[in-house]
Structure 1
Amino acid sequence: MATTLITGASSGIGKELACQFAAGGDDLVLVARSEDKLNELAEQIRNKREVAATVLSGDLSTVQGVDQVCSQLLQRGIKVDTLVNNAGIGALGKFAELSIERQTDMLMLNVVALTRLTRALLPGMIQRGRGGVLNVGSIAAYQAGPNMSVYYASKAYVLSFTEGLREELAGSGLHVTCLEPGPTESSFGEDSGMGKLDMFSSSTMSAAAVAKAGYEGYRANSDVVIPGWKNRLMVTSTGFLPRFATRKLVGKLQGV
């Protein structure tokens, strides 16, 4: 039986990815700060699927929180086959006006936790010769994002890191995939402030559809998965425009 660890599993894409991996027969380790929501999800999954669902509550926006999750895995003897780095936050606003605490938490969660967890769990996967990493990025990775500069930059890191890691692990038997969703029906829009933007509210996909695409892409060992034809068109179109043009366009769409 394979075991999949999913961060940010209490809601949205993370919750739906948990359902996808459970339906595929994987035991689960569910990680987020919201222990009550995780326990509720774990119970639902256990009642519906013949899989185990372990809850690990932790704050991944700190190095200590990440290391505590890793320590709990060791203490419980849990060997993770697939790591799903889904946890992430954003914030709409000008860099000089958003709090440095929020932006630092963003980098810690979107970049540092993802990297640290991958480093901690990958050697075991390589040794066993199975499993892999599914990183959840964003179509924001493909251009600069004025008024969300740190968020866009963090997602560019996720894409670049995933592609580099995939090449390093070629021939290892491990799967390495980056899921790049666009606007999605989840708490992210409200939490980040993006939900009030026309570009977000007019073209959202369901979290279930995004998760299904990501799960199937990971199982097929796709390098990058961009769910939805509108999102794929948007990413393709940025390749035909100079970077100064795309950043000006995004800046207008995300005007604050």
Structure 2
Amino acid sequence: MAAPSPLAGFYRRFYRRIERAIVPVLVLVGWELFSRSGVLPRALLPAPSQVLVAWADWVFATDGNTQSYSGRWIFDTLASASRVFAGFALATLLGVGIGMAIGWSRTVEKLIEPLLQVLRPVPPVSWIPLAIIWFGIADKPAIFLVFLGSFFPVLLSTIHGVKTCDRNLLRAGAMAGGSPRKLLCHIVFPAALPSIFSGLRIAIGSAWMLTVTAEMVAVKSGVGYVLWDSYYFLRYDLVIAAMVSIGLLGFLSDLAIKLMAARVLRWQRGSTLQAKEG
């Protein structure tokens, strides 16, 4: 059998490097061509090149075309990110703690879970009027909404992780003299971590969606506020730039959780490889 040529190997390596960029590039090119075709007014559907010009001024203050937002991107991003991570951190602490308790104790499950299951279907957006009444027009309503949107994915994933823990491991730990507290900390919690990280990835996406919603209504700063304010002034290029910014920030947040999970769950990767080899 003939060995593959160096040129074929080069093409394969090159394709692997650009593979993930193929579809986004095609979408951008198609969008640019459609916008320039005149089917829709360019003011209603700005081309990617036009969005890039507005975004560059928003970030670097290149020519002042975004007026009061020129050069303010980092401040708007930090304002949104602070609300996201404050609400997300609170949701993680409470969601994991309560989820561990519900998954471990039938008594706690019977006492708390009915109330949580009643609250869970209520859309977080419907809490906006109460959040404004309770916390006013500031960061607190946005943090509260982010918390609500992030809490239930973390809670349910934690409960699932605890309940699906291998009972043989628990029996082995109990036979070795482990107390319920030690079993919970050293067996159940590590076993639930893969499910918890899955919940965290869902929750961080919800967190970014909710903070943008809150900034449209209850806050006067952040990427969501820029998006809504630009809509009122018919600056759809800046609206799209804000949408793309939110998508990138959400992507980077999810990537950070994935990297953390890969580091924390190294033991899972090792056990998976052993299972495959076996």
Decide: shared fold, TM above 0.5. Answer: no
Category of TM-score, reference length = shorter chain = under 0.3
Task: Point out the structure with max Rg over C-alpha.
Answer: 2
Query: Which protein is richer in helix relative to its size?
Result: 2
Compute the TM-score of the two structures, normalised by the length of structure 1. Answer: 0.26
User: Which structure has the highest strand share of the two?
Assistant: 1
For normalisation by structure 2, the TM-score amounts to 0.25
